[in-house]
Amino acid sequence: MMPIRLRDFIEDDGGLIFAVSAYDNTERAGCVLRYVPDPAGERVDPEGRRYTKLDFEPAYEYIREHRPEYLDHLHRVPADRIARVYKPEERMDWIASRDPRVRRLLSLFDLPAGKVGCTGSRLIGVENAASDIDLVVYGGAWFSAQAQLARLVQTGTLPAMSEEMWRKVYEKRVPEISFDTFVLHEARKWNRGEFGDTYFDLLYTRDYDALASAPAGRGREIGRGRIEALVTDASQSFDSPAVYEVEHETVSRVISFTHTYSGQALAGETIEAVGVLEEHGDTQWLIVGTTREARGEYIVSKTLLEQV
């Protein structure tokens, strides 16, 4: 079986379903609880099993009460407790066969087989009419999808994101930056779009042969910090976590664990970032997204803001 990787879903031996949120999953899968079996649940899978979807805080409360052995910075499910792995790329045809919207959206892109999937509720078949479309694109194919999305909008094949849809995304993300600043940064990322009455994401995930080089492990926290720094490498800025190599007196990396600040700056731009400083060997990393809402934490491109 292929390794468990970011954006897969797993089911434990008690029927709990988790979204994989890390790359280091050999002994224990790093994930977050999303769906709990519930006879009265509103989500129903193709086999008739009912689930309740849990938001971030209720998920942690559930784990603390029912699976304390999983509790960590993420939920860590031991390999011998994993009963099933759901892989977006392997279930893509099944997902598209169930939902004509997904099928139509995919038909607009030219992507290699096995390099695109769909995660989230559709991956396990519990989507509803309000569910977004979370497309996962792997490795270098993601950058092709990003360029194709830009062309699709520029040629009018897909509409530009409406202000109403931007408001919906902004209110879902609740970032620590203004709406105008949020849209200014988001509009140039080409990693989300509007399709019918919903929006879709293009989510980056590493190819299998690049998993080992993903950042892992936590450093010693040394306090909160605010820095201005020059971005020297943003090639992994759409990953999860997003990585920005920077030129700064003490900080070598800015890491974002929240999707809001993925792709937030380009190499050669100066950023302002606020987060938690961690010690990693003889250097420091600034971590953004230390809580689900990333309260008081953000990344903005000062270079981009000065161009307005």
Strand spans (E) along the chain: 9-12, 17-20, 28-37, 43-44, 50-53, 75-78, 82-86, 116-119, 133-138, 192-195, 198-205, 220-236, 242-247, 251-256, 270-280, 283-288, 298-301
pLDDT in tens, 228-273: 999 999 999 999 999 999 999 999 999 999 999 999 999 999 999 9
pLDDT in tens, 43-60: 999 999 999 999 989 999
Same domain, 102 and 149: yes
The SS3 call for residue 191 is coil
Q: Report if pTM > 0.75.
A: yes
In whole angstroms, give the CA distance from residue 146 to residue 142. 6
pLDDT confidence bin for 290, thresholds 50/70/90: confident
Residue 70 lies in a domain: yes
Same domain, 45 and 74: yes
**Predicted pLDDT at 218:** 81
Domain count along the chain: 3
Beta pairing, strands 43-44 & 242-247: unpaired
pLDDT in tens, 127-178: 998 899 999 999 999 999 999 999 999 999 999 999 999 999 999 888 999 9
**Predicted pLDDT at 295:** 86
Same domain, 240 and 260: yes
Q: Is the pLDDT of residue 10 over 80?
A: yes
Same domain, 111 and 152: yes
Alpha-carbon Rg for the chain, nearest whole angstrom, is 19
Residue 178 lies in a domain: no
Same domain, 153 and 201: yes
Residue 171 lies in a domain: no
pLDDT average, residue stretch 93-113:
95
pLDDT in tens, 177-227: 999 999 999 999 999 999 988 899 999 999 999 998 887 778 899 999 999
Same domain, 109 and 201: yes
The range of the structural domain enclosing residue 108 comes to: 91-159+196-205
Question: Which pair of tokens denotes residue 238?
Answer: 């759409």
Residue 191 lies in a domain: no
**Interior angle at CA 191, CA 185 and CA 197, nearest 5:** 105
Same domain, 76 and 139: no
Same domain, 82 and 103: no
What does 145-181 look like in DSSP terms, one character per residue? Answer: HHHHHHHHHHTTSSPPPPHHHHHHHHHHH--SS-HHH
Same domain, 237 and 276: yes
Same domain, 300 and 230: yes
**Predicted pLDDT at 197:** 85
pLDDT confidence bin for 99, thresholds 50/70/90: very high
**Interior angle at CA 92, CA 89 and CA 97, nearest 5:** 175
Between 293 and 67, the higher pLDDT residue:
67
Q: What is the mean pLDDT of the chain?
A: 95
**Predicted pLDDT at 1:** 80
**Predicted pLDDT at 249:** 96
**Predicted pLDDT at 4:** 97
pLDDT average, residue stretch 99-114:
95
pLDDT confidence bin for 294, thresholds 50/70/90: confident
